Chain A
Amino acid sequence: MSEFTDLTLATARDGLAARKFSAVELTQAHVAAIEAARDLNAFITETPDKALDMAKASDERLARGEGGVLEGLPIAIKDLFCTKDVLTTAGSHILDGFKPPYESTITQKLWDAGATCLGKLNLDEFAMGSSNMTSYYGPVINPWSEAGGNRQLVPGGSSGGSAASVAARLALAATGTDTGGSIRQPASFCGIVGLKPTYGRCSRWGVVAFASSLDQAGPMTRTVEDAAIMLGVMAGHDAKDSTSAPMAVPDFRAALTGDIRGLRVGIPKEYRVDGMPAEIEALWQQGIDWLKDAGAAPVEISLPMTKHALPTYYIIAPAEASANLSRYDGVRFGLRVPGASLDEMYENTRAAGFGAEVKRRVLIGTYVLSAGYYDAYYLKAQRLRTLIARDFDQAFEKCDVILTPTAPSAAFAIGEKMDDPLAMYLNDVFTVPVNLAGLPGISVPAGLSADGLPLGLQIIGRAFDEETMIRAAGVLESAAAFTAKPGRA
């Protein structure tokens, strides 16, 4: 079985083209792997019949010498993307039974390219979380565990099911979404590659909205090459999303030349945060050395607003969430809890349908947008956002990409940090500034902690320069030669 599930998108595609195996065989192997790993709780909805039907159609197209970029390749979808007639929950009770009558632009592009759909993946409720612990459908278990230990670990979040399924060889690749680190942090925790594109690169149409000025979808894969291939399918202008950029999609895979001679790699001094484990600091230094050995030139840069990014994010994201989540009212879809009046029905439905973290963020968002407080909080945060983006603009005058750790820790145990929202928010200290500035970022697995858990390094690129970022990430990946596999794969 693992001869199929250990493949990458690229090698599986070669195997299908050479007729070494069929799309049905490839899909069956993954369906079986998913059944055998249900205890990880990575999927909310499995769609094996749909996957096999799609695989059969792929085999027919391949037999005719046709087929798209992802023809016959089984992937899984974060349950934040609307999929026509397939349950879409956003990890929330309030979307009980919701089967969208439409398909998101991104998933449609993936199916048009020939990919087969294994199912819908678990996530933090409405993508609000960094551990997958806020899902109404329960936590996802990280397929990795500490050397000699048996504690169950979180996969990170919010794309926890996506990261766990790709790491555990349940899918060749998965979609994720990233509002403050939700692709990159779980990729780091699970030892896979996670790419958050430039804001506007991928259409948000049909993706359940959390914070619309920050949300961006991207690929989660086991190699940088696969991320480049999948991004090429996901990216592109969409008239249905007014913030989608009308720009041509480059050949991202062609960017993987392996040549970074002369590339200026910015090392932000403000990312040496208090309390960061020495092993992450050391891995970061190792990453600098790897890129330097490949001919790049490290340069120290300053991003002085870094420490203000998290509080800025925790005003802007809840403010946008409070507006976006107002649509869940028990009238048009999902859960309804009766009440004597229309208002009471709304209040009862939203009290029962939203979990604690979502309620916290909606209430904070409502407060910071309310009369009398708007200027002190929301407007202030928007001014800070200008300054944070300006930091990056100035830094990119001195460098071409930026190298940082992805997260300040390895995966932690299920249940840890649950009593302190602020401790949980700190997971995203290195990823949030990238969203606030609308830039692309990629996490590459770079090493193991002393406990045997994966650690990622992040490369940040200029807006709409994913190519240079991918090129540097490819070199980092080759140098790190990360071949470790989780215990559950």
Chain B
Amino acid sequence: MSLDKATVARIATLARIKVPEADREALGQELNQILHWVEQLDQVDTAGVEPMTSVAAMTLPLRPDKVTDGARADDILKNAPGAMHGFFTVPKVVE
């Protein structure tokens, strides 16, 4: 598989990273080099092998569904690039 300019543009949009038109060709080549290298895994027969979903032999613990923390709006907003009236602010999304 090979990444063309259109695919680079598509994954850049999915990843929400602006990649200028002029950089797409070179970036695609860089990414292709990495993808071709990882494709050597195709040589390994993995039929019937379970995909690893947890490296530790443990099941995730359950806990009571209770509030244990909170009421920290000021702490949370302290680092926001934009905040007003106890909320994060973003560019207008609703007309």
Residues of A within 8 A of B (CB): 97-102, 199-200, 213-214, 239, 242-243, 245-246, 305, 308, 311-312, 314-315, 322, 326, 329-336, 338-348, 350-351, 354, 359-360, 362-364, 366-367, 370, 373, 376-377, 379-387, 389, 421-422, 436-438, 463
Summarize B's interface: helix, strand, loop or mixed.
loop
| Least distance between A275 CB and chain B CB atoms (Å) | 16
Q: B90 is contacted by which of A322, A342, A422 (Cβ under 8 Å)?
A: A342
Q: A308 is contacted by which of B1, B19, B40, B91 (Cβ under 8 Å)?
A: B40
| Least distance between A238 CB and chain B CB atoms (Å) | 11
| Least distance between B62 CB and chain A CB atoms (Å) | 10
Contact with A along B5-27 (1 / 0, CB 8 A): 00110011111111100000001
What residues of A have a CB within 8 angstroms of the CB of B54 in the complex? 213
| Least distance between A417 CB and chain B CB atoms (Å) | 14
Q: A311-B40, A332-B76 are in contact. List 15 more A-B contacts (CB 8 A).
A: A243-B56, A308-B40, A311-B41, A314-B34, A331-B80, A336-B82, A341-B91, A343-B16, A347-B13, A360-B31, A360-B34, A362-B15, A364-B35, A366-B14, A463-B56
Contact with A along B49-69 (1 / 0, CB 8 A): 111111111101101000000
| A99 close to B79 (CB less than 8 A) | yes
Number of interface residues of B (CB under 8 A): 52
| A314 close to B15 (CB less than 8 A) | no
What residues of A have a CB within 8 angstroms of the CB of B71 in the complex? none
25 contacts between A and B (CB under 8 A): A101-B76, A102-B75, A199-B56, A214-B55, A239-B63, A311-B40, A312-B38, A312-B41, A326-B16, A333-B80, A334-B79, A336-B82, A345-B91, A351-B19, A360-B34, A363-B17, A367-B3, A380-B42, A381-B38, A382-B52, A383-B49, A383-B51, A386-B51, A386-B52, A422-B33
